[in-house]
Amino acid sequence: MQIQQNISLKPFNTFGIDVSANHFVSVSTIEELKQILSLKEYPNKLILGGGSNMLLTKNFEGLVIHVNLKGIEIVSEHTDCVFVKAYAGENWHEFVLWCINNDFGGIENLSLIPGNVGTTPIQNIGAYGVEIKDTFESCNAISLENIHIETFKKEDCQFDYRNSIFKNEAKGKYIVTSVTFKLTKQNHQLHINYGTIASQLEAMKITAPSIQDISKAVIAIRESKLPNPKVIGNSGSFFKNPVVPKTLYTNLLQNFEDMPSYPVSDTEVKIPAGWLIEKAGFKGKRFGDYGVHKNQALVLVNYGDAKGSDILNLSILIQDTIKRLFNIYIEAEVNIL
Ligand code: EPU
């Protein structure tokens, strides 16, 4: 373990923004992590996992800790289910494929989501009708305050749509070191009713899908809609889908009769932010090296050397326009630093 000086963070964030950190260290064991956290000379720390949910807008004056803890372990195995622990630095999609290869079901709909295992509980990642909370058993996280490892059970995490305790009262106070999932070994619960999964399976001529088939269908859908961060820098959905009062939605329907919505409660609905952004004319708009993706308006992209502040300003322009046109505020999903 070596602390390096003036390191570019470009390879460590999926937006591919070229800012630098004064100090940088990559840790691959819990002991190293504890050692680094006990150093008094770096009060300002930034924790980096897969860098898939952040927009870096300026150089970081402090110590970046790259969490590179690796390993996948079967904690216990039963007739129907298995508990699998993955360390925070494991690439999420590779972990999903490992589970699928072992015929462990539950996270196949979450195939191809960029980022590492350690960040999945923070924003309760979700796609195609499944969220991490559905298979999450517990996670271990190290307290930055006393450098002890604590276990968070599912009920401790306050999971909600793209939200958890780690984005609220525990924000900035812990580093997730591992996550344990409860997965099925048989009688897999398949989720094929969301969006275009069923039609994708049909196109693939699959009538009795396995978890492998669902993963393949999800990969095909994602590849057709979402830019690969290795090719075009991006952070997935930049905004959350807003939840709005039904009364506002009903009023808006008078002017926008094709506005889609998903039920949330008796009084609220969720509106796809991608639809609002497309309707506002931003889909596919390019401003030099940055813009809005052509196939999915929720995704802001860096075509080359965009600055984080360019993308941040574009996101504010989009938010202001949506507010003006629809009286709806769309909240950023990514962390802005
Ligand atoms: N839509 C448009 N134009 C667009 C994009 C979407 O009109 O450019 C409308 C369409 O009506 C479409 C609907 O939005 O039917 C839903 O689109 P999609 O199924 O692509 O899902 P989403 O709501 O845009 C969410 C997640 C994605 C996740 C997909 C699939 C959020 C913020 N995003 O997007 O998550 O992959 O559902 O489950 O909830 C991510 O978090 O990084 C991410 C990509």
Query: Would you put residue 314 in left (φ > 0), alpha (ψ -120 to 50) or beta?
Result: alpha
Identify the pLDDT of residue 134.
98
Look at ligand 1, atom 16, and give the residue with the nearest C-alpha. 272
Ramachandran angles phi, psi of 99, nearest 5°: -65, -45
CA distance readout (Å), 102 to 15, 95, 128, 222? 32, 11, 22, 23
The C-alpha atoms of residue 196 and residue 175 are separated, in whole angstroms, by 35
Instruction: For residue 297, give the ligand 1 atom closest to its CA.
Output: 8
Q: Give me ligand 1 centre to Cα 268, in Å.
A: 18
Q: pLDDT digits over 242-283, tens only? A: 999 999 999 999 999 999 999 999 999 999 999 999 999 999
Q: Which ligand 1 atom sits closest to the C-alpha of 295?
A: 8
Catalytic amino acids?
A: 162, 237, 333
What is d(CA 15, CA 54) in angstroms, rounded to the nearest whole number?
8
CA distance 328 to 201: 35
Phi and psi at residue 121, in whole multiples of 5°? -75, -25
- Closest to 136 in 3D by CA, of 157, 115, 116, 150: 157
Tokens linked to 275: 């639809």
Q: How far is the CA of 110 from the centre of ligand 1 (A)?
A: 14
Mean pLDDT, rounded, of the chain? 96
Instruction: Retrieve residue 102's tokens.
Output: 């072992």
pLDDT 10s digits, 287-314: 999 999 999 999 999 999 999 999 999 9
Residues of the chain with pLDDT under 50: none
Distance of CA 45 to the CA centre of its chain: 21
Question: Minimal CA–CA distance to 153: which of 139, 163, 164, 142?
Answer: 139
**Separation of CA 309 and ligand 1 centre (Å):** 24
Question: Which CB contacts under 8 angstroms, 24+ apart, belong to 31-35?
Answer: 32/1, 33/65, 33/67, 33/69, 33/142, 33/175, 33/177, 34/142, 34/147, 35/1
Q: Which domains does the chain have, with CATH numbers?
A: 4-67 (3.30.43.10), 72-225 (3.30.465.10), 233-336 (3.90.78.10)
Task: Assess whether the C-beta atom of 243 lies below 6 angstroms from ligand 1.
Answer: no
The DSSP element (H or E) to which 74 belongs, if any, is strand 72-77
3-state helix, strand, coil in the chain (%, to 5): 30, 30, 45
